[in-house]
Amino acid sequence: GKRALLLVDNINDVFRNLNDREALHRLRATLMEEDRLMLIGACVELSDEVTSIEKPFFDFFRVFELKPLTFDEMRECLDALAEVRGDAEARKAIEKREGGLRAIHLLTGGNPRLVKTFYRLIKEGLHRDIREDLEKLLDEFTPYFKAIVDAMSVQQQRIFDAVALAWNPVEVAHIARQTRLASNQVSSQLRAMVKSGHITAVAGHPKKKSYMLADRFSNVHYLMRHGRSARVRFDWFVVMVRLLFEDDEYAKTMAGLVKESVQEGGFCWDEACGLVANAMDRAESPSARKLLVGQFVTARNPENIRDLLLAEIACGKALEINPEDADAHFKMGRVREYLDRNPEKAAASYGEAVRIDPAHLDAWGALAWVNHRLLHNTKAAESAYLKALEIKPEAWWIRTNYGSFLQEETARYEEAEREFRKVCENDPEPRGAWFNLGNLLKSFLHRPEEAEAAYRESIKADDQYAPPVMGLALLYREQGKDASVYRELAIKAMNLLPYRGFDLWSFFSLCGDDPDSIRAVLPVFSRWCGKNRDHFDLPMVYGCAFSLWMRLANLLGPMSALEFLKSIPETDREPFGDLEDVFRVMKDPSNLHQLAPERARFIAELLEEQKRIQKPKVKSSRKKSP
């Protein structure tokens, strides 16, 4: 007949907890006499319960010692496990993900139990919630790890602690200092711990051995669960991620974790900053650092203050590690340009980048742009533009900016037109060049028909690009077309991009006296303000939206404006909650006295400020590259 198989983990604890010699003898007799029962027990090491001649289970078990698996053995073991489970996806992953398997072998040291713990990562990876996944792995490992440590003597536990906290291989002398034990005692205990498989000897000084924990995962577990501070535990979490991922995946994973921390807010902001610093420290290779900095620095127009602060930390760390890192200097220039609003410092960073790497195209382009638009250094700007175009004549975005420079700073309009048309004819993404050409033709060369055609080409290249839509609206008003035509275009431009300074000013100019146009864009402004609390342009957009609400109240009456405000979803109108009291006081000034004194003073100041505003003054916080 069939036999019952009993699988018992940590069997030493079972024997120890029974603590009844007679009961243990009966259990032994039953297992010997009953052929239908088979017992397989696992333990981290053989205890007195099975090795002492005085104990009931002395010499009872057939002992199999599970040695660490080699990489090939681990792969074979995982493949067999996947086959038994009928998991075709896991088998496919085992075949393809050699880098991930080697990382797991490094982490586990080939420990069969740990290899099995990591099995699900082979199939699923760590891309859903990496912190939750790693915490789950640590929790699953904790009972086994506790059994290992509990089985050690007090001296061995002290030695284990010293070796684990060191992380890197350490010699006997170091362990002796940390534990305050005699060197001969340390050596004796280390021999026993090496034999039990908890410590491993590694190549060190020719005459002195060095020691470390047998597997990296046990070391990470110890540091994360028993580190002396939260910062230490935090750092070793980053180490574990680094061990698991190749450079590109490591950069993406850490950037994702930082983003999650920022989105959670509160104390998580400190956590996000720590993650960036630790991620850079643990990157180890120049390629990993470059990928990390690239993840934290937005390619061209970083808008979010928190993102830029994190990017500043990443760039600073990269330059601390390697002051001659041209790409890090370039990206620090981007941060200084947008975060510090300091064009001189930005130009200095770009200058360092091109000094270190004279062929750094993006740095030359950025240096030209800063000198052109922010410092108005005509000579330096043109020199940098020409150098960039010498490196790469088909750098179309730089050529577009050069055309703008010729138009704005030198009034060389015909040359500017030639540059724009080169880009329009060759650039696979010519929307900016067509738009700039339209502006040049409309405002400086006075060829309105060609200007209209250029704007339409820009829209054709990208129908979600707002500037040419507003340009067309302004052109139509100049041509005396019906107001409904250009107002429709202005509304469309605001829906596409509600925070471009010139377009905001243009909307007021085109639609500021039309309540229908104002009502068409206010929900867009309200929603944008609610979702972009950290955006550089929030004060400008909020101020414009507030002025539009007041205009609507003046055009239709405060109660009509209040009714329209309440028709907007509550989450979208939340940034403009003060307007409810403003409109009620506009309707009946006596309502001001029903408010709390500080509230009444605030509302009165808002109303007084609005009376002084004859025309909204919209000024972009910076000029942007097309």
Across 123-127, 135-139, 582-586, least confident range? 123-127
7 contacts 1 by C-beta, under 8 angstroms: no
Mean pLDDT, range 127-131, rounded to an integer: 55
Higher pLDDT, 575 or 430: 430
The rounded distance, in Å, linking the Cα atoms of 381 and 374 is 10
Environment class of 303 (CB within 10 Å of its CB; exposed 0-12, middle 13-18, buried 19+)? middle
User: For position 420, what pLDDT does the model report?
Assistant: 96
As a whole number, the mean pLDDT across the chain is: 83
The rounded distance, in Å, linking the Cα atoms of 563 and 49 is 82
C-alpha dihedral sign at 13, 15, 19, 23: positive
pLDDT confidence bin for 91, thresholds 50/70/90: confident
- Please give the DSSP secondary-structure letter assigned to residue 171: E
Amino acid of residue 16: R
pLDDT in tens, 324-355: 999 989 989 988 887 656 789 999 999 999 99
Q: Which candidate, 216, 205, 225, 226, places its Cα nearest to that of 107?
A: 216
pLDDT in tens, 290-304: 666 666 554 333 445
Higher pLDDT, 159 or 536: 159
User: For position 118, what pLDDT does the model report?
Assistant: 76
pLDDT in tens, 479-534: 999 999 999 999 999 999 988 888 898 999 999 899 999 999 999 998 888 887 76
Q: What dihedral angle (degrees, nearest 10) is formed by the CA atoms of 245, 249, 251, 256?
A: -110
Residue 620 has pLDDT above 70, yes or no: no
DSSP string, 364-430: HHHHHHIIIIIS--HHHHHHHHHHHHHH-TT-HHHHHHHHHHHHHHS--HHHHHHHHHHHHHH-SS-
User: For position 94, what pLDDT does the model report?
Assistant: 84
Instruction: Provide the whole-model pTM.
Output: 0.56
pLDDT confidence bin for 159, thresholds 50/70/90: very high
Q: Which candidate, 595, 612, 507, places its Cα nearest to that of 550?
A: 612
Candidate ranges 194-203, 218-227, 229-238, 474-483; pick with highest mean pLDDT: 474-483
The rounded distance, in Å, linking the Cα atoms of 170 and 162 is 9
User: For position 614, what pLDDT does the model report?
Assistant: 47
User: For position 500, what pLDDT does the model report?
Assistant: 84
Beta bridge partners of residue 210, listed in sequence order: 171, 202
- The phi, psi pair for 211, rounded to 5°, reads -135, 145
User: For position 592, what pLDDT does the model report?
Assistant: 84
Candidate ranges 57-61, 165-169, 268-272, 357-361; pick with highest mean pLDDT: 357-361
Secondary structure, 3-state, 191-238: HHHHHHCCEEEECCCCCCCEEEECCHHHHHHHHHHHCCCHHHHHHHHH
pLDDT confidence bin for 431, thresholds 50/70/90: very high
The rounded distance, in Å, linking the Cα atoms of 527 and 192 is 67
- Please give the DSSP secondary-structure letter assigned to residue 502: H
Residue 240 has pLDDT above 80, yes or no: no
**Beta-carbon count within 10 A of 544 CB:** 25
C-alpha dihedral sign at 229, 235, 236, 238: positive
pLDDT confidence bin for 625, thresholds 50/70/90: very low
C-alpha dihedral sign at 518, 519, 520, 526: positive
Beta bridge partners of residue 8, listed in sequence order: 41
Higher pLDDT, 130 or 346: 346
The rounded distance, in Å, linking the Cα atoms of 282 and 223 is 16
Over its C-alpha atoms, the chain yields an Rg (Å, rounded) of 35
User: For position 112, what pLDDT does the model report?
Assistant: 83
% of the chain beyond a pLDDT of 90: 38
pLDDT confidence bin for 243, thresholds 50/70/90: low
Q: Where exactly are the structural domains of the chain? A: 4-51, 512-626
Question: Which residue bears the tokens 């291989």?
Answer: 169
Higher pLDDT, 89 or 404: 404
